[in-house]
Each structure stands twice: as C-alpha cells, then as structure tokens.
Amino acid sequence: MSNPPVSRPPRAQRPRTPRSPEAKQRQREILHIASDTFAARGYNNASLAEIAEQAGLTQAGVLHYFRSKALLLTSVLELRDQRDIEQQGPTRPEGLDFLRHLVDTTLRNAEREGIVRLYTVLSAESVTDSHPAQDYFRDRYTGLRSFVADALRQACDLPETRTEEADAAANAIIAVMDGLQVQWLLDPEAVDMAASTDLVVTSLLAALAPRKFGPGIPR
C-alpha cells in the first residue's frame, strides 16, 4: 500500500551519500541485512554488533553509512516503501480500483514473507515508549485511513453526512489486513489473505451501498 508523502528530514538525520559504486553497494547490503535482522528480532532486540558482523564491518563502519541505529531503521522502512511505490506504478488508483489494489497487495505480500514480517514486527513494537519508528507508523496509518476512506466514499458515492461510516469501514479493512498478516506468518497454509480481504471489502461495500453493491449485483 502507498504512504502519504513525508517531508525530507534534515541532513544530520539522513544516511550519508556514498560516492563510489562500491560504497553504494555496501550501503545496500547493510540495509538488506538490517531488514532481515529487524524482521527476525525486532528493533530493540537487534544489535548493531550483529548487523555489523553479518556485513563484515565494525559497528563504526555501519555508523559511517547510517549515523545511528535509529537512522538505519528508518532507512529500512523507506526502502520498503520504495519497493511498494515501484510495484504500484506512477499513480495511485482511486475509488473501487484502489480497493481492488488492496486485495492485489495481499497477493503480492504472500510472496514476500520477509517484508511482511518486518512490517508486522516493527508496527507492533512501535507502540512502546520512545520507539524510533512510532511517528513513521502513526503517519502511515493516518495516511492509509485517509486513502481507504476516500476510496470507499468514491466507490459508494457517499455524501459527506456519511463520512464517519466510511472512516469506520476503513479502520476495519486495515485492521483485517494487518491481523491476517499475523495469522499468515504463524500458519501460512491456513490463511488466504487475498480471499479474506476480498470478502471483507465486498461485504463492506454491500453494507455501505446496497443498491450498488448488494447481493446479485455484478461488480
């Protein structure tokens, strides 16, 4: 799913920009190693020492590229978002197309377990005090709620007087998608994320606009 636009942080809060191809490749390797490590152990339990060891560097070597462990985490999350944007294409779909895009996203997620685990672990962990990804996930959910609610309003032709209904339905869709990811990670053979997401979206459309999406009406 897409993210709302985020302003670029000050230079001191951004990774260093490597100049040589070798340094750029090393920075990418660190990002991928950190992504796997955070996904497996969470931010708090993962250490710079183990990330550095897997990368064949010292901790100072990792910090040369990313300045801090917190910056390494936010860089990993930005890389995840960049992959989502590349898969989505240059424009974000709207209305019913966006809701179908959500179902398509669950199909793609079933083929990228590492990214799903990273998101699931870090989003849950971010509710703890002073977690460096807390603002990221708060902004992400705010943006997603807005996107999904707008899509529901457009698809169902809802008037402004029914804004709260669309917002509640958007929260339900996001909650279902996130909850399905947890179940799927624990028992992938028992969970079809796409089928369950499609069922929930279809049911909510029928509830919000029965004349347009009710039983027996082609979609």
Q: Rounded to whole angstroms, how far apart are CA atoms 203 and 209?
A: 10
pLDDT in tens, 81-100: 877 766 666 678 999 999 99
pLDDT in tens, 112-131: 999 999 999 999 999 999 99
Instruction: Name the residue among 69, 106, 87 with its Cα closest to residue 193.
Output: 106
Cα torsion through 132, 108, 84, 170, rounded to 10: -70
Q: Is 109 left (phi over 0), alpha (psi -120 to 50) or beta?
A: alpha
Q: Rounded to whole angstroms, how far apart are CA atoms 164 and 142?
A: 15
CATH of 14-90, one of 1.10.10.60, 3.30.930.10, 2.60.40.10, 3.90.550.10: 1.10.10.60
Rg (CA), the chain: 20
Instruction: Quickly state the pLDDT bin for 142 (edges 50, 70, 90).
Output: very high
Map out the domains of the chain as residue ranges: 14-90, 92-219
